[in-house]
Amino acid sequence: MSENKLPPGQHEIDAILRWNIDHEGIIPDNPKIDLNSWALIVDGDVENSVKLSWQDFLKLPSVESISDFHCVETWSVRDCKWCGVKFSTLVNIVKPSKNARNVFFKCLDGYTTSLGLKDLLKDNVLLAYKLNGKLLEVPLGGPVRLIAPDKYAYKSPMWIERVTFTYKKELGYWEKKGYSDTADVWAEDRRTR
């Protein structure tokens, strides 16, 4: 169990009791994903747009990172052991322009969100494909989801298919419905209205 304090307003839960929750508001069921045809497209205001197949993605340098996972609904799962590609590794591959200050994520279920590039360059931000030593299952966002531990989970999109670097910030699915765009767990920044 982590010795770190939980962010304000959060309480710890047993992951087994709540981990496979619904993804309300986008589609009624998890998307059907074929790893033979899945690809991660990275484009926008970058020098090198890429389209990574599943096998290409697995060849990128990976790291393990342990962090807590915080839902905006006030529950947290402690000590999640993620394995994935640091977002900064992807940045080094595509080489965003100096104007690219934001990153927009589009997911296979139609979900969208965005984060500032500065937030994504933190050492603990991953494009995760494993959780606790096992490939990430589809209900948990597999094959690839973003993990941004200092943000509420709606900023850690599941089933990512496209990552677009932009100058202008574009609000995503929950942000358009009144959730905070900063989603800072330590400031308890949940809703804007």
Which residues of the chain fall short of a pLDDT of 50?
Answer: 1-2
Q: Does 44 map to a domain?
A: no
pLDDT digits 0-9 by tens, 93-121: 999 999 999 999 999 999 999 999 999 99
The predicted structure's pLDDT at residue 30: 80
Q: Provide the domain count of the chain.
A: 1
Host domain of residue 93? 51-187
Q: Does 57 map to a domain?
A: yes
The predicted structure's pLDDT at residue 1: 39
CATH number at residue 68: 3.90.420.10
d(CA 21, CA 34): 22
Q: Does 39 map to a domain?
A: no
The predicted structure's pLDDT at residue 21: 54
Q: Does 3 map to a domain?
A: no
30: its two tokens:
């998890």
Q: Does 20 map to a domain?
A: no
d(CA 174, CA 113): 8
The predicted structure's pLDDT at residue 95: 98
Q: Does 55 map to a domain?
A: yes
d(CA 148, CA 172): 16
Q: Does 34 map to a domain?
A: no
Q: Do 189 and 183 touch, CB atoms closer than 8 A?
A: yes
The predicted structure's pLDDT at residue 192: 74
The predicted structure's pLDDT at residue 19: 56
pLDDT digits 0-9 by tens, 18-45: 555 555 556 667 888 999 999 999 999 9
Element (H, E) at 77: strand 75-86
Q: Does 143 map to a domain?
A: yes
The predicted structure's pLDDT at residue 2: 45
